[in-house]
Structure 1
Amino acid sequence: MFERILICTDFSDGFQRLSQFTSSLKLAGIREIVFLHVVPLWEKGIVTKVDNEKVEQAETELAKAIGESPSDVKVTIEVQSGKAVDTILKVAQSHDSQLIILGSQSRSILTEKLVGSTMADLSRQTKIPLLVIRPQLLSVYTTEELSLRCQHLFRSLLIPYNDTKTSNYVLQQVKQLAEQQSDRYLQECELCWVLEDNNSSKSPRRVLPEQAEERLSQIQAELETVNLQVKTHIQEGNPVTEVLQTAVMANISAIAVSSGTIGKLQEWLVSSFGAEILRQSWYPVLFFPLTD
């Protein structure tokens, strides 16, 4: 799976708490962890400079939180001053990170456009997968619960599927991760195909239930060849609503999605499925940036 990860924290999101669970993250296959905190540049009038005092404070806080880490897990602290997205991209590249973990608040398209979103900006500027987690989850987990969550970070994925370029891309990425993993960190996948409601007899379905069932059976067989346990679901309704409802009853670690339009004009016109899952899901979302 992912052996080298970058965990971003602004200290208000609680992600620095993960520094206490490096042993648990090791059980998820992680061997190198970089904790990154970005300090905004100090600005007064036209003068811009590094806020050295806040940088030192952040370094001290992270070092104290991390303490002693397992000898076979490499833990690095990065505190840098600058713009958040630019710094995250630079640090991820310098450490050859395979996954970026960050928090994201639930928000609308309008709010995202007006105030910005680190997650949205990253999703269209990097090819590195993102694991997006609601900060509120980290706040309410007990130590025991968070330890288990870290151990099973990728164990079971819910994959929304509808035979489009985007969903096939996610499937390809998941299969590749399963093929390359050194142990069974990823064990299970649940495929969910939502057929949108069609109450008009004049407008036939694009995909019939039996066609969806046949395609999912093919995918199930394909994923089982890489030692994954696979379940399939076919439902009717609104795709976002039904996938989130499925997540409630499924025993999953994260929802795996992608999108090629986040932050682009198309999102103003018709929000993509992947973008809406990122905005609405309270479950962790494993996001694969769609490469051209």
Structure 2
Amino acid sequence: MFQRALICTDFTDGIYRLAQFVPSLAAGGFKSLVFFHSMPVESGPEIPRASPERLEPARQRLQELLREAPDTVEVTIEVQWGRTSDNILRLAKQHQVDVIFLGSPTRTLLEEKLFGSTTAALAEKTGVPLIILRPQLMSTYTTAELELRCAHLFRYLLVPYDGTQGGKKIVQNIRQQVKNNPNSVLERVRLLWVIDDHVRRELLGDHPVQQAQQELDQLQSELAALNLVVNTTVVEGNPLEEIMKTAEIHDIGAIAACSGGAEGIFKWSAPSLTHEILRRSWHPVLFFPS
């Protein structure tokens, strides 16, 4: 789906390991990769100061990992000091990337509110899709597992869809990404419509399952025209639980998600399903900001 990536690491998230698998990322469709590490500016008794000599060890560490990078992929190393989210936004624009890799641990709402989140800040400020990976998994994958993960990350997407603007936005973004990239590796999409069993039956209409299936059948035809294999499922239950169960059963590469509206998904007074997926899913999450 994507060709130009900004891969961000703080060297504690396991994301830096991707530098060893540039050939696999190339097999996944990438032609340009920017590996980025952000360092905080030192604070002294007088004014904050940057230490240029501190940047070189991080640059060398990434360079050593890139020994297997093929000539067919443009690879850049960026090590800068300053606020991480600001640096990422600037580099994403400078290198014209079409996806940003981030490591984000699973967190409760309270933890995220207390300690902040680079992912949350970026989701509110950028229009570039984010692929969220769990540091706990990235750090424990074997070399063989990570090699396969890099090559197949964007081959099979799970798309939670319920007929709302958020779901339609995800499908629109996928359609646009595939059309804009003639070498897209996306092969399969699974559309999942979960009818929330906590919603009163009279609010769902007379035949909610049949109506949902009809809409998914239409989307299936539209996406199949892009040479994608499209599967559809309609179930009743808890949306988050059914999404996680489906991702596990069907060997999904990533779960696609999208912000729910102009208010943003990270407002503490308005938690959303997308927010819960980003916060709790162990599967990679491909997030399309508004």
Smaller-chain TM-score bracket: over 0.9
RMSD of aligned alpha carbons: 1.8
1:123-134 equivalence runs, <5 A = 123-134=123-134
Return 5+ residue gaps in structure 1 as ranges. Answer: none
Deviates more, 1:165-174 or 1:138-147: 138-147
CA drift of 1:112 comes to 1.1
Structure 2 distance, partners of 1:263, 1:43, is 35
Cα deviation 1:154-185 (Å, max 9, x = unaligned): 00000000010111000100111222232350
The answer to whether 1:176 aligns with 2:179 is no
Return 5+ residue gaps in structure 2 as ranges. Answer: none
CA drift of 1:100 comes to 0.3
Query: Is the contact between residue 157 and residue 253 of structure 2 (CA under 8 Å) also seen in structure 1?
Result: yes
CA drift of 1:68 comes to 4.3
CA drift of 1:242 comes to 1.0
Query: Is the contact between residue 120 and residue 266 of structure 2 (CA under 8 Å) also seen in structure 1?
Result: no
Structure 1 distance, partners of 2:107, 2:262, is 13
Count of matched residue pairs: 289
The TM-score, its normalising length taken from structure 2, stands at 0.95
Q: 1:181 to 1:61 in 2, by over 3 A?
A: same
Partner of 2:30: 30
Q: 1:205 corresponds to which letter in structure 2?
A: L
Partner of 1:162: 162
Structure 2 distance, partners of 1:132, 1:264, is 17
The TM-score, its normalising length taken from structure 1, stands at 0.94
Cα deviation 1:181-236 (Å, max 9, x = unaligned): 323500000000000115856x4425711100110100101110111101111111
The answer to whether 1:227 aligns with 2:194 is no
Structure 2 distance, partners of 1:6, 1:49, is 26
Structure 2 SS opposite 1:105: coil
Structure 2 distance, partners of 1:115, 1:262, is 24
Partner of 1:205: 204
Q: 2:286 corresponds to which letter in structure 1?
A: L
Deviates more, 1:138-147 or 1:125-134: 138-147
1:1-292 equivalence runs, <5 A = 1-198=1-198, 203-206=202-205, 208-260=208-260, 267-290=267-290
Structure 1 distance, partners of 2:30, 2:138, is 19
Structure 1 distance, partners of 2:197, 2:232, is 19
Cα deviation 1:102-132 (Å, max 9, x = unaligned): 1001112222111100001000100000000
